[in-house]
Structure 1
Amino acid sequence: KLFDNAGTKLLDEASPPSLTDLCLTLVSSRLELFCEMRDDGSLSFREPLVFPQELADQLLCKMSTEGEISSSSITPYTLKSRRSSMKVIHMTHLLQHLTQHSFYCGQLEGLQHLDISDDKQFTSDVARQLLETPGILPQLVSLDVSGRKQVTDAAVKAFVEARPGMTFVGLLATDAGFSDFLSGEGSLKVTGEANETQICEALRRYSEREGFVREALFHLFSLTHAIEKPRPDILKLVALGMKNHPATLNVQLAASACVFNLTKQELAFGIPVRLLGNVTQLLLEAMKTFPNHQQLQKNCLLSLCSDRILQEVPFNRFEAAKLVMQWLCNHEDQNMQRMAVAIISILAAKLSTEQTAQLGAELFIVKQLLHIVRQKTCQGIVDATLKFTLSALWNLTDESPTTCRHFIENQGLELFIKVLESFPSESSIQQKVLGLLVRNSGGVKSSH
């Protein structure tokens, strides 16, 4: 619907044709309000559109039929005078009902680049019509129909073979791109989902387009399950998607899963430290942005639980420790609990004395760690979770009177005596408990 400055409705989708024509005339005469000029000189509709898809289609049809793109100052172009020399057209999202005739492709003999991709994935068959029109756009070098339906390998192959100068075809989120001819391995670059080359090309070209980034990352995740060699080139593309769409849950969810696949175990040692640091910081941002999404938090914890990352990579360890502790306090997943306390115990040993004291001063952190120790002691279980938790408490109480006070006021001394009594033959447990009690007893006078 269109509205004037006072909010009065100017056009309804059921408006009579005469009123629609008046509105289209008004819009086409003030196109600078709805379009922007790209760096390459082409025009692009601003998003979000302020009028219905059907009206957008009619507007483009009217402008092409009458030959006037705009009489305003934003462009000197008119289709009638320039259509034979136009080289670039971007018409993303705006072709739900357009036919080949409505944008005069048959008369754009010099057109080299046509982008009718649609990451909203409407059901228009405009791409099929274009591909099946004989002799159309003979000089075309690149064609992007990503997101369009009814696109087949056979139609794309025939179209490209008839134009030997073509160097790019966009086929992500279509039904095409699975033939050897369209693999993207040679001089013809292809965005798609059939193989790693196509997916990486999509992440490069569509890094600003949320829907396509999500689609590409989803398929990348499946491909990286069994990856055997470090791939910093792919990790950079994943990081770019995370950076460009920090508030989009589906992008962050898919990206964090890909990060784990690309950095797990020994793979992390083949990734440059600086890149790992950037990616780790992006994971922390995702944890902050979506604190209540359990799967995303798990993905991030899985990636953080890496010796290379925790020991060597530069990132905000204090922030990471707080985020992991917050997760630990809100979840009882035993497998993830083990990883979380492992991360905290290592991070706590890496913090400065001031940061350790600041972290330990948070009462909820000490309470949660003591809760885990109490739980394991009552169950009579000695496992990695208990050992990591004891190490974390030892590190947090070191030279921190406030943390020691929290420890004592929450029955930490009594609990640790019970631990000594419960596991008399476990030397590693005895060492950690006695180490905390003896080394940190000076933190508070009452602990002597």
Structure 2
Amino acid sequence: MVHFLHPGLSPRNLVPPDAQKDAVGCCVVQEEASPYSLVNICLHAMIENLEKLCSERPDGTLGFPEHWSFPQEVADRFLAVMTSQGKLTDKTASIFQGNQMKLKLVNIQKAKISAAAFLKAFCHHKLIELDATAVHTDLPVPDIISGLCSNGWIQQNLQCLLLDSASIPPDSRPLFFGQLTGLRILSVFSMCFHNEDLASVSQLPRLESLDISNTLVTNISALLNCKDQLKSLTMHYLKCLTMTRPQFLAVIRELRCLIHLDISDHRHLRSDLAFHLLQQKDILPNIVSLDISGSTCITDQAVELFIQQRPAMQFVGLLATDAGYSDFLTTKKGLRVAGGANISQISEALSRYRNRSCFVKEALCRLFTETFSVQITMPAILKLVAIGMRNHPLDLPVQFTASACALNLTRQGLARGMPVRLLSEVTCLLFKALKNFPHYQQLSPEQTAQLEEELVMAVKELLAIIKQKTAENLDDVTLLFTLKALWNLTDESPAACKHFIENQGLAIFIQVLENNIAEVREFSSRLVTEDMMRHISSLLHSKEMEVSYFAAASRYCQMLVEEGGWQLLCDIREHGEVDPLVQQGAASILSDFRMHFLNYQSPALC
């Protein structure tokens, strides 16, 4: 339609990635370019018009017509869409009362509902899964557990309970998980969860998967109570752990049924537990997945030896460590690595750690470097960037780094290979970031002070690269981006300029200029030709901002003045037989740069 309304525009032909080389990217293009399912369109329409479709009860809550009913799968999806759109409230949750809806998989992430509304709307259903991640404080964990335990069927059959970042009032100790005897999966990530709570949970007869990341647990010895059944244990950033290294390893050694273990850490905690775990030969015999991202002292050699002793391993997390760069870890088939060595490892990290802001930021930093001069379309990577932005809207480092990655992945012609719906989502997320951080520019003084040491080293290293390239007379992409990096570092940064001067930056740049043909005076006159003027004029109207900007560079105009080129521009502007575009370009140069050279002593500018 756009093409027919605007015939001057070429149609947008989307060329999907080669499925042989980029299967994931091909799937993303097909998914994003396909229309939404009819079920989703209907659900969104119903939620948008919910108050028109429902009647209002005397207490102000909503209810569907009595003769309406929903299949269980549709009811579950209807609730999930309501939750994702922020439409689940005490007023709307009431539509799930009674038997019109039959729920099994309840998702109330980040919903703002009260304990009374939760009890009435959901606790009479035959639930097998409840996701209450980051639910509002109006619904604290004790009330969630109490509501679930009010239903005998749920006590015996609820299999999965996710309570990440849910709140617990200070006076509600301990938590009574023991009544939920059917639980197989429990996650209490970033919850106020103590040793006594772990002792209660470890008694659950069917527990197979447990996540106690970022909790207040100091001792994991209680896990020995479920050593014969526990298959997955996640302990990311267990910051309060007080056990000695031998005590910790002794417990892990007894958990012989584990197929997944996550002891990843924040880099700044500097835990060496993973390093010592890798040295053990008689530990984790059935392990398939090991995550030690963020740990210290990790080497490729130690990781390789551990994996070779356990050939069934399929995943290892190595982001924010010194490992992951060997040929073994970058090329081994059947082994997925979350790390920073290449695009494959970075995409794995973005996918695995989408809910952990510390690792999302780390992966995005690596991605920015890898995609700085990318020339191929990578829709799957852009979608992962979008997921990171959507999951952490109030995390400034994530939003800032993700926006830079989005620019790398869509600059110039790369955006044409991206599905429009994906580009639309990224654009909306960028606007949301601008709204959430309206006053942010670059770094505050405190952050700049923290970076002072890194800034000195960066300037030194960049100048050393330029000096080497100049001495070798090499004009390559490394030199180009090194010059750009120094430009960005010193722009409006007195500290960086100071380090630049103190490290002989001026002398090095004089050498660069001496090797630049535009700065060699005996050659400059050969550049001032009518053909060159025509070309420069056409470049002034380029759609690429950098091209038009540099075409109008003030140094070139100064050279024109010195060599009589300014008069040539005047002649081009005045001659009627010259191409109008060239005349316009000449006039633009004369008008736009006259004010820049008012102090330059030349009658041509007076």
Q: Name the TM-score, length of structure 1 as normaliser.
A: 0.53
Q: Residue 88 of structure 1 contacts residue 112 of structure 1 at CA under 8 Å; is this kept in 2?
A: yes
1:101 is matched with 247
Looking at structure 2, the residues matched to 185 and 273 of structure 1 have their Cα atoms a distance apart, in angstroms, of 35
Q: Residue 202 of structure 2 contacts residue 226 of structure 2 at CA under 8 Å; is this kept in 1?
A: no
Secondary structure in 1 matching 2:199: coil
Q: Residue 147 of structure 1 contacts residue 173 of structure 1 at CA under 8 Å; is this kept in 2?
A: yes
Looking at structure 2, the residues matched to 106 and 228 of structure 1 have their Cα atoms a distance apart, in angstroms, of 48
Unaligned runs of 5+ in 2: 1-169, 208-221, 444-490, 492-539, 546-572, 586-606
- Aligned AA for 1:240? I
How far does residue 121 in structure 1 lie from its aligned partner after superposition?
A: 3.7
Looking at structure 1, the residues matched to 284 and 267 of structure 2 have their Cα atoms a distance apart, in angstroms, of 25
Deviations 1:104-151 (A, max 9, x none): 111112111101112364112110111111211100010001111111
Aligned CA distance change for structure 1 residues 384 and 290 (closer, same or farther; 3 Å): farther
How far does residue 79 in structure 1 lie from its aligned partner after superposition?
A: 3.8
Match of 2:323 among 176, 191, 204: 176
2:279 is matched with 132
How far does residue 428 in structure 1 lie from its aligned partner after superposition?
A: 6.8
Looking at structure 1, the residues matched to 260 and 175 of structure 2 have their Cα atoms a distance apart, in angstroms, of 22
Deviations 1:159-199 (A, max 9, x none): 11111100000010111111111116621101001111110
How far does residue 48 in structure 1 lie from its aligned partner after superposition?
A: 5.6
The count of residues paired between Structure 1 and Structure 2 equals 269
1:188 is matched with 335
Unaligned runs of 5+ in 1: 1-25, 51-55, 297-332, 334-382, 389-422, 430-448
Question: Residues 419-434 of structure 1 correspond to what in structure 2 (within 5 A)?
Answer: none
The alignment's C-alpha RMSD in Å is 3.9
Looking at structure 1, the residues matched to 358 and 381 of structure 2 have their Cα atoms a distance apart, in angstroms, of 19
Looking at structure 1, the residues matched to 309 and 188 of structure 2 have their Cα atoms a distance apart, in angstroms, of 31
1:89 is matched with 233
Higher helix share: 1
Deviations 1:207-247 (A, max 9, x none): 11100000000010000011111111111111111111111
2:381 is matched with 234
Aligned CA distance change for structure 1 residues 44 and 91 (closer, same or farther; 3 Å): farther
1:153 is matched with 300
Q: Residue 44 of structure 1 contacts residue 91 of structure 1 at CA under 8 Å; is this kept in 2?
A: no
Q: Residue 84 of structure 1 contacts residue 111 of structure 1 at CA under 8 Å; is this kept in 2?
A: no
Deviations 1:310-345 (A, max 9, x none): xxxxxxxxxxxxxxxxxxxxxxx9xxxxxxxxxxxx
Secondary structure in 1 matching 2:290: strand
1:3 is matched with none
2:190 is matched with 47
Looking at structure 1, the residues matched to 279 and 257 of structure 2 have their Cα atoms a distance apart, in angstroms, of 19
- Aligned AA for 1:47? S
Q: Residue 31 of structure 1 contacts residue 72 of structure 1 at CA under 8 Å; is this kept in 2?
A: no
Looking at structure 2, the residues matched to 73 and 152 of structure 1 have their Cα atoms a distance apart, in angstroms, of 34
Question: Residues 204-283 of structure 1 correspond to what in structure 2 (within 5 A)?
Answer: 204-283=351-430
2:346 is matched with 199
Q: Residue 265 of structure 2 contacts residue 271 of structure 2 at CA under 8 Å; is this kept in 1?
A: no
- Aligned AA for 2:329? L
Q: Residue 203 of structure 2 contacts residue 226 of structure 2 at CA under 8 Å; is this kept in 1?
A: no
Match of 1:70 among 199, 207, 210: 199
Question: Residues 341-420 of structure 1 correspond to what in structure 2 (within 5 A)?
Answer: none
Q: Residue 199 of structure 2 contacts residue 223 of structure 2 at CA under 8 Å; is this kept in 1?
A: no
- Aligned AA for 1:89? L
Percent identity over the alignment is: 45
Secondary structure in 1 matching 2:236: coil
- Aligned AA for 1:266? G
Q: Residue 100 of structure 1 contacts residue 126 of structure 1 at CA under 8 Å; is this kept in 2?
A: no
Looking at structure 1, the residues matched to 389 and 351 of structure 2 have their Cα atoms a distance apart, in angstroms, of 13
Looking at structure 2, the residues matched to 194 and 264 of structure 1 have their Cα atoms a distance apart, in angstroms, of 23
After TM superposition, the structure 1 stretch with the greater mean CA deviation from structure 2, 171-180 or 80-89, is 80-89
